[in-house]
Amino acid sequence: MQRKDVFVSEEELKRQKEFVQQVRGLYAEKGKTPKALVETYGCQQNENDSERIKGMLSEMGFAFTDSREDADFILFNTCAVREGAEMRVLGNVGALKHLKARRPDLIVGICGCMMQQEHMVKKLKSKYKHVSVIFGTHSLYQFPEILYKAVCKNERVISLIDSEGRIAEDIPVYRENTASAWVSIMYGCNNFCSYCIVPYVRGRERSREPEKILEEIKSLAQNGVKEITLLGQNVNSYGKDLDRNVDFADLLLLADKVSGIRRIRFMTSHPKDMTDKLIETLPKVKKLCDQIHLPFQAGSDRILEKMNRRYTKEGYIHLVERIRTAMPNAVFTTDIIVGFPGESKEDFNETIDVLKRVRFDSVFSFIYSKREGTPAAKMPNQVPEDLKHKHFDELLDVQNKISREINETYDGKTVEIMVEGLSKTNETMMCGRTSGGKIVNFPKDDALSAGDFVHVKITKISTWSLTGERV
Ligand code: 5AD
Ligand code: SF4
């Protein structure tokens, strides 16, 4: 595909803007401010997509609510990475049947990764008749047209684009968080890890033009945002599809120059694409946070090969050492899958060995979930559920001990944090994060707001967070 064809055309985007106005008009005629509830599942990419959907809804005149009873439009932005997330969505959508029966005007919609799977759309069409809006990730930019048809004609609208996915620029973004923002730098994934559905539902890798990304970051900075997280399924391959001479290391240096931004994070990185150039660049990016999220997925070379990860256990550990040399204070986090087909006790022990040798600050561990359409789903020796759970619990025990030990080293130290807001669990406390991404709680101060930087002396630690007093 030629680069220019990767973009949704300006005419198409203009056409969608007209639908935005038409939906606005429809509700204005009814003399009411419609309310929307967007429920998001899955990764930050999905969160960012929801922010774009809410941006469009806001332009269409919608206000937002957390209450299903209050909402005129309820949309589920779904995740297909694991079966558990899919089941939760289906349960929640199913539970709306009664509400829809009571309030026929209510529009229920489902979008996102689950809707890029044919079998799932089929299921929704036949069994979830109260759902009237269905669209996949590739159709996101058509949302105004889809909603217009659903509201105006009160008919079921299904939009599924069977292509590799394109880039739609300049869609408005509605961000609730005033201090931190996600910035998607690329979409899709080319890696085809054998367990993963993402390349099938999100399409091939496509990078945004660097100018567009920088424009967005500058505008965020002007609006008071202090921290950005550059997002992509594999940010390390940013720029490979551009006919320009710019890669992820270059992009980091460009983002570093935007005044007003004080912290830069990125996720996710694939170990196989961490180039020497990128490692050498990391310490030169002045605003880069001391945090590296580097999924290793499994410790056994045999399993890594079956996963199609294209690195070895020792290669991964060596990579961590090289990054640590470049960034001595880096906090490492990772993703791990337990119970990939054929994973034996010996294989699993290799995963535990990586945990003990690298000593991650925290890990995101997942029980392997069979995904229809991926190569791993057809592999022999699927691991029984009880064994997967047993290994999963064992892994958590090992990691919780390490996380706690690492957190104990913070006792008595003073850290700089960016304030995020009130603590969610204790109304007398506020919380923020260190450069390494650790959550720090401290006594509430009404003079502080999100995006302020303060120093806190740590006085209490737990496995998941730190607590202290301002100094
Ligand atoms: N089963 C379990 N975990 C998975 N992940 C991706 N696909 C699967 C699957 N089929 C995990 C990986 C990835 C994270 C986002 O989700 O660890 O890094
Ligand atoms: Fe999935 Fe692998 Fe791509 Fe990550 S890199 S999204 S795990 S295929």
| Spacing, Cα 196 to ligand 1 middle (Å) | 6
Same domain, 356 and 426: no
Atom of ligand 1 at shortest distance to CA of 376? 10
Last residue in a domain, options 289, 319, 344? 289
The ligand 1 site (C-beta within 6 Å) comprises 81-82, 195-196, 295, 297, 335, 337, 366, 368-369, 371
Q: State the Cα–Cα distance between residues 320 and 322, nearest whole angstrom.
A: 5
- Kindly report the protein residue whose alpha carbon is nearest to atom 5 of ligand 2: 191
Same domain, 204 and 194: yes
pTM of the entire predicted model: 0.95
138 within some domain:
yes
pLDDT of the residue at 271: 97
Structural domains counted in the chain: 4
CB-ligand 2 contact for 193 (6 Å cutoff): yes
CB-ligand 2 contact for 93 (6 Å cutoff): no
164 within some domain:
no
46-64 pLDDT, tens digit per residue, is: 999 999 999 999 999 999 9
Q: Binding residue per annotation — 113?
A: yes
236 within some domain:
yes
Q: State the Cα–Cα distance between residues 303 and 406, nearest whole angstrom.
A: 29
Share of the chain above pLDDT 70, in %: 100
CATH of the domain at 92: 3.40.50.2300
CATH of the domain at 358: 3.30.750.200
Same domain, 210 and 72: no
Atom of ligand 2 at shortest distance to CA of 297? 7
354-413 pLDDT, tens digit per residue, is: 999 999 999 999 999 999 999 999 999 999 999 999 999 999 999 999 999 999 999 999
Query: What tokens were used for 29?
Result: 């005629």
CB-ligand 2 contact for 113 (6 Å cutoff): no
Taking CA atoms, 364 is separated from 37, 210, 367, 432, in Å, by: 28, 30, 10, 20
Same domain, 282 and 295: no
Same domain, 366 and 401: yes
Q: State the Cα–Cα distance between residues 417 and 434, nearest whole angstrom.
A: 4
Ligand nearest to the CA of 189: 2
Q: State the Cα–Cα distance between residues 42 and 86, nearest whole angstrom.
A: 10
| Spacing, Cα 82 to ligand 1 middle (Å) | 7
Q: Binding residue per annotation — 193?
A: yes
Atom of ligand 2 at shortest distance to CA of 197? 1
Atom of ligand 2 at shortest distance to CA of 233? 6
Same domain, 435 and 325: no
Q: Can you give the residue range of the structural domain that contains 372?
A: 290-408
Confidence of residue 4 (pLDDT cuts 50, 70, 90): confident
Same domain, 385 and 441: no
CB-ligand 2 contact for 364 (6 Å cutoff): no
CATH of the domain at 443: 2.40.50
DSSP code string of 315-338: HHHHHHHHHHHH-TTPEEEEEEEE
Same domain, 62 and 82: yes
402-453 pLDDT, tens digit per residue, is: 999 999 999 999 999 999 999 988 999 999 999 999 999 999 999 999 999 9
Last residue in a domain, options 289, 315, 340? 289
Atom of ligand 1 at shortest distance to CA of 81? 7
Same domain, 77 and 63: yes
pLDDT of the residue at 155: 81
Same domain, 295 and 189: no
Q: Binding residue per annotation — 111?
A: no
Confidence of residue 1 (pLDDT cuts 50, 70, 90): low
382 residue type, one letter? Q
Pocket test for ligand 1, best of 195, 385, 395 (most atoms within 8 A of CB): 195
Same domain, 383 and 365: yes
Last residue in a domain, options 289, 321, 346? 289
